[in-house]
Amino acid sequence: MTDRPTRSQRLLVVDLAARSKNWALTPAGERQITETTPNGWRVHLVRALTSSDGDGPREPSPESMDAIREAEVYFGFGVPKPLFLAGKKLRWVHSAAAGVGNALYPEMLASDVMLTNSAGVHAIPIAEYVVAGVLHFFRGLDVAAEQQREARWDKQFFVSDDTPVREVAGARVLIVGAGGIGGQVATRMQALGATCIGVRRHPERGAPQGFERVVGLDGLDAELPRADVVVLAAPLTRESNGFFSAQRLKQLGKGAIVVNVARGALVDESALAGALRNGDLRGAVLDVFREEPLPSDSPLWTLRSALLTPHISPVSPGRFWPRALDLFCDNWLRYDRGEALRNLVDKHAGY
C-alpha cells in the first residue's frame, strides 16, 4: 500500500447499491453520509448494482473498480479481492455485513489496511427471530401448521403425557457466541425465564448481560447434554468451520432444538437432517446453510421438524441503515481524527 494521500485528495468510495431493495442504501442514508463528510474529503457513491448476500460480492463492478484506485476508505458489503488489489491507496475498509470471511484473503491478511464490520447492527432482529423459532417448537406450532393444512382438529400431540410442548421458563439455552447477537438473544430468553449459558473464545472476559455464566470452547461438550436449546451465533473461522459435528449433535437430548443464525458451515447438515428424521432432536431453526440457496434436493426441505428461512433473520425494514450508518459515520469521524475505530476486526482471528 502507498502512503496516505494528502487531505485534499482523500476519497471515500461507498459501494452499497444492493440489488435487493431491502439492503440498498437509501436516499436518506446517502444524505447522512454526505452531511457527515469531514473537511478535506469527497465521496463517490457507486451507482452500479452490487450483491449484499452473505459476506458480499465476489466480483466488483467496473464502476467500483475505477473509483477504488484513488480511494483511501471503502464502504461496501465486504470487499472483493480484485477491488482490494486495485485499491493501492486504501487504508481502511468498512463492511456493511457482519461476517468478513470473504475479505480475509492472503493479501488482506498481509496488509496494514484496517478492516471493520457491522457486527451488532443486526443483533435485535436476529435475536427476535431466534425467540420466534424457539417458541415455534416449544408451543408445537409446527404440528399446528401441519394439522391446519390437513384441516385436521387433533389435540392429542398437545395434551399427551409425553408432549414436548413447554414454556421457555426453566429452559436451559446454550448460546455459542456471546457477542452482539448472542447477548441480545440471552437478554430476551432470560426475560422469558430461561437460563442462558454462553460459549466464547475468551471466557475470562466474563458473562455479558443475560448470561448466567460463560465457558470456553473447551467447555462446550460438557454443556451439550443439559441444553434444551443450542443457538449458534459465532463467526465462521477456521476453528468453527464444521465444529457442530455429528458427534456433538449426538450429545443433545431428544427434546433439544438447534438454532443456526451464524453461518451454515458451522453445522454438519447431513448429520442434522438425520437426527431430525430419526426423532433424535425436537427441531432445528435454520436461517443459514452451507450452500445458499439451499439445493432443492436437500433432505431438510421435507422435514416438519426443520424450520427453514432463506437467510432473512436480519431483515428489519427501516431500522438497518440508521443503525449501520450511525456506526460507520462515527467511525469515519474517529478515523479522520486518528482515533481508535469501533468493530475493528482481528483479521487473523477471523472476526
Residues 158 and 148 occupy one common structural domain: yes
Element at 36 (helix H, strand E): helix 27-36
Burial string for 308-325 (b: 16+ CB within 10 Å, else e) reads: eeebebbbbeeebbebbb
Cβ atoms within 10 Å of 159's Cβ, excluding its own: 8
User: Which residues participate in catalysis according to the annotation?
Assistant: 263, 292, 311
Residues 158 and 230 occupy one common structural domain: yes
Residues 297 and 327 occupy one common structural domain: no
pLDDT of the residue at 2: 39
* Number of structural domains found in the chain: 2
Residues 135 and 219 occupy one common structural domain: yes
Residue 252: φ, ψ to 5° = -80, 150
Domain range for 65: 7-121+316-337
C-alpha cell at 301: 426441505
CA angle in degrees (0–180, nearest 5) for 170-140-190: 25
Taking only the tens place, the pLDDT of each residue in 88-138 is: 999 999 999 998 989 999 999 999 999 999 999 999 999 999 999 999 999
Residues 177 and 301 occupy one common structural domain: yes
Residues 192 and 250 occupy one common structural domain: yes
Element at 110 (helix H, strand E): helix 106-110
- Is 1 within the bounds of a domain? no
pTM (two decimals): 0.91
Taking only the tens place, the pLDDT of each residue in 177-216 is: 999 999 999 999 999 999 999 999 999 999 999 999 999 9
Residue 165: CATH number of its domain: 3.40.50.720
Q: What is the mean pLDDT of residues 46-59?
A: 92
pLDDT of the residue at 1: 43
> How far is CA 142 from each of CA 162, 165, 302, 303, 305, rounded to the nearest angstrom?
17, 11, 13, 10, 7
Q: Where are the beta strands (DSSP E) in 208-303?
A: 213-215, 229-232, 257-260, 283-286
